[in-house]
Structures are given as C-alpha cells and as structure tokens.
Amino acid sequence: MIDLHLHSTASDGALAPPALVRRVHDAGVQTMSLTDHDTMQGVPAAAAAAAELGLEFIPGVEITSVLDRRDCHILGYFLAAQPPGLARFFDSQRTGRLDRARTISARLAKLGAPIDIEAVIEEARSVRAVVTRPLIARAVVAAGHAQNVKEVFDRWLGDGRPACVTREGPSPTDVVRRIAGAGGVASLAHPGLLRRDDLIPRLARAGLGAIEAHHADHGRADRERYAALAQRLGLAVSGGSDYHGDQHRRAKQLGTVGPNPAELALLRRRLHETASAAGLLPRADIIHA
C-alpha cells in the first residue's frame, strides 16, 4: 500500500513523526510521505523511523497558497528537508500563520470563546510545529467552549464562519514554481474539495507535476475524473488518506486511497523532469529511500 498524504504533530496531526511512521507501518503501508502544512521539520525524524522499519519514505510538504480568498493546498514531493530557496519562504508562511492565529483568537474572544493563544503558539514552538486552525480548535475545546473540534469549525473556524481569517499568501502558481524550482514535484491537493478545475491547466503550464486524484474525500467519480484530467494534461497522479490521527474522521482510510505502483513510478519520472529543468540532480536517497 502507498499513502502520500499524512500529517504529524509538526503541523496539525495527532502523532509525532516517529509514532506516525509506526502507525503507518502497522496499517500495512509500504511507501509513505509526510506532508505537514508549511513545514518539513518532521521529515528527518520520520525518515529515520521509516528506515528502521523498512518503509520507503518520500519527503513531502503541503504548502498553503491563496486563491480568491480561499486556501489552496499544493503538495510538494521529493524535496530535501531543507529545500534550496524554500527556507525563507517557509519562515514567511510560519509568520503568516502566527499573525492569523492571533487575529482568530481576538475574534473568538469577541464571540464569547476566549483562549490563551500565546500558550497555543508556545506549545507549537516546543515541538517545532506550525500553528493551524485545528490546533486552535483543540484549544477552544480544552477551554470548555465546545464539545469537539467539529463543533468549533461548524460554529466559528470553518471557511466563511465568523472567526475564520483568510490570510494573505502566495498564489498557487507561485507555490508550484517554487516547488519545481527546488527540484521537487508539485501536486494539487484534493481538487475535488477545491472545485476549481479551471485552475489546473494554468498550474500545469507553471510546472505542476501531478494531481491528487486519490484522496479520502474523493468519491469514485472524482478519482476517475482527475485521473483522466491528469492523463490528458500529461501529469502524474498522487494520493493519500490525509490522515491526522485515529480520532480524525479519515482515520479508517489510512493506506487505502493512495496511488498504485504504476502511478507512483510516473510520479518518480516527473521528479527527474523537474529536477533536470531546475538544473538539479535528483538525490538517490530521496528516490530510493
């Protein structure tokens, strides 16, 4: 089994990178990628744990871009843990998340659900994690303002809800170009949730290497449509469960919705193409880890 969309405590997942790798291994996955939000801090520990257990490990990240005031996620695969040219970019993404977190906290206070946002930020820093909406939602639950994270998103933090803040950020095209420029393969995450298929040909022209046709929230029709679109545009296909922990709604799909071996092989070929275009040589430890 292959699962190329997984989150750890480096962003909004429930398990530390080594524990996540063990959970993935126990689920029967043979090839995995850690794709935390806007950070690759968890990659070294996850890679080491994967090597100990004999799992094939592909370094990854899920970068947040902004499209028409909505988050648009771009996955980056086969990147070094400190990608050339991306370190400063990740720093700016982290700063943007901190600014947004404090604004969200102020809105929550006005809505009668105050939290100690500085404690949330400090906790994230202690494990070298970025601050995400799910982390804030957990703090709201811990403060007694809601029964669970879903309630927090339904009432306050979901897109269009009163405490949701759309942060400024890079465009999807910019993120795709940055990933490709660093020698990685960019894949549009869960396009069935974004519902902006008009964007995909533009991203392909900018260097997009793949579409995440396989995702826990995609039905059969979505998977088939995006696989066909990828083939039509000459793109590879990626996929994964988007696992955040066993209490998350996608937990049961861990390892069940990834690409097949032939699709993974095509994704690897895209690595050689993008690395060559960027003037970089693909690293053997990334290709065959």
Kind of pairing between the strands at 56-67 and 70-77 = antiparallel
pLDDT at 287 over 50: no
Residues belonging to the chain: 289
pLDDT at 74 over 90: yes
Q: Rounded CA gap, 213 and 114, in Å?
A: 39
Pick from 20, 9, 10: which is nearest to 254 by CA? 20
- Other C-beta atoms within 10 Å of 144: how many? 8
pLDDT at 44 over 50: yes
Q: What is the pLDDT of residue 280?
A: 63
Q: What is the pLDDT of residue 70?
A: 86
Q: Rounded CA gap, 169 and 193, in Å?
A: 19
Which amino acid makes up residue 57? F
**260-280 confidence digits (pLDDT tens):** 999 999 999 988 787 666 666
pLDDT at 83 over 90: no
Average pLDDT, the chain: 91
For tokens 């799910």, the residue is 134
**190-200 confidence digits (pLDDT tens):** 999 999 999 99
Q: What is the mean pLDDT of residues 46-50?
A: 97
Q: What is the mean pLDDT of residues 67-83?
A: 88
What phi and psi values does residue 196 have, to the nearest 5 degrees? -135, 65
* SS3 at position 179: helix
Domains of the chain from N-terminus onward: 2-82+185-287 (3.20.20.140), 91-157 (no CATH)
Least confident of 7-11, 67-71, 208-212, 264-268: 67-71
Q: What is the mean pLDDT of residues 155-170?
A: 90
**106-126 confidence digits (pLDDT tens):** 999 999 999 999 999 998 887
- Other C-beta atoms within 10 Å of 10: how many? 26
State the DSSP code for 280.
-
pLDDT at 156 over 80: yes
Q: Rounded CA gap, 165 and 162, in Å?
A: 8
Q: What is the pLDDT of residue 277?
A: 67
Q: Rounded CA gap, 127 and 129, in Å?
A: 5
- Please name the residues in contact with 125: beta carbons below 8 A apart, sequence gap of 6 or more: none
Q: What is the pLDDT of residue 123?
A: 86
**224-244 confidence digits (pLDDT tens):** 999 999 999 999 999 999 999
Asked if residues 269 and 185 have their Cβ atoms less than 8 Å apart, the reply is no
- Alpha helices, DSSP H only, in the chain? 17-26, 43-53, 87-110, 117-126, 133-142, 149-152, 172-181, 191-194, 199-206, 220-233, 261-277, 284-287
**173-224 confidence digits (pLDDT tens):** 999 999 999 999 999 999 999 999 999 999 999 999 999 999 999 999 999 9
